[in-house]
Amino acid sequence: MARYFYDDDYGWPAHVPVAQRRRLAEREAARLMKKGQQLAPVVINGSKIVKTFWGKAWCDNLQRYSDFANRLPRGRTYVRHGCVVDLQIVSGAVAALVSGSSVYRVELNVASLSKPQWKSVCADCAGAIDSLVELLEGRFSKAVMERLCREKTGLFPAPAEIKLKCSCPDSARMCKHVAAVLYGIGARLDEKPELLFTLRNVNQQDLIAHAGEDMTKTKRGAAAKALAADDLSEMFGIDIVQTPVRHKSRRRT
């Protein structure tokens, strides 16, 4: 069972040094794995939490949460020090374990992207994303990136669309453990960007399908122009051909 470290004067969990938090996290992870639980810890290599387009875009979006600003830096410290023992992302929800004065359970519920909003995103990006690989690797135009990351109407949830819960005694809506999980999601999206679509309960294949439809319409338009030329030939009983360019012959001297 996880241990708690209390301050003698107020009964509030005392500050726990980083090394002690790490040891606690390792012990708790070992205990849970011994019981057969599959864990997915957030492991940060180097000083940067995220490195790819999707991870950076998620963390950039967190900076918009001005009402959480004072808690976010502590969360970055926690996730860098390996305190997120487990982080699982499923449709519309995140479940995690974070080591602090104890090992706390964090739950996040994220609202699904509305159908009209998702349809608008797909329509705006139609024809600009060629493949699923390109989509997941974040290799597309600046216009597409801006559309996907657009505040309020893009893929990233607003604070009002996230319900936060932590088992720690901190009464704040966002404690440092929740903040650590939010940054941990960014790190997880570095590894598996498709989890963003899972979290918002939409199918990333829809973006590719719309791109295919747009390409089909383009081909149909070209075919229609060719057909119009054929109809014109039949109407007037003449053959419409492209007149070859004749080059003037040089006079011999």
Residue 106: predicted pLDDT = 97
Query: Is residue 3 assigned to a domain?
Result: no
Query: Is residue 169 assigned to a domain?
Result: yes
Where are any strands of DSSP class E within 51-167?
84-90, 93-99, 103-110, 162-166
Residue 93: predicted pLDDT = 98
Query: Is residue 88 assigned to a domain?
Result: yes
Helix (H, G, I), strand (E, B) or coil at 198: helix
Per the structure, the count of domains in the chain is 1
Query: Is residue 245 assigned to a domain?
Result: no
Of 245 and 98, the structure prediction assigns the larger pLDDT to 98
pLDDT band at 25 (very low <50, low <70, confident <90, very high): confident
Q: Cα dist. 45→19, 48, 51, 79, 81 in Å?
A: 17, 7, 10, 11, 10
Give tens-digit pLDDT for 185-240: 999 999 999 999 999 999 999 988 865 454 444 444 443 444 444 554 454 454 54
Query: Is residue 6 assigned to a domain?
Result: no
Domain coverage including residue 87: 18-210
Query: Is residue 30 assigned to a domain?
Result: yes
Query: Is residue 232 assigned to a domain?
Result: no
Give tens-digit pLDDT for 52-68: 999 999 999 998 876 67
Can you list the pairs that 19-23 forms with residues at least 24 positions away whose Cβ atoms lie under 8 Å? 21/78, 21/81, 21/83, 21/99, 21/100, 22/81, 22/82, 22/83, 22/99
Nearest to residue 53, comparing CAs of 140, 129, 120? 140
Q: Is the pLDDT of residue 3 over 50?
A: no
Give tens-digit pLDDT for 98-137: 988 889 999 999 999 999 999 999 999 887 888 888 888 8
Query: Is residue 144 assigned to a domain?
Result: yes
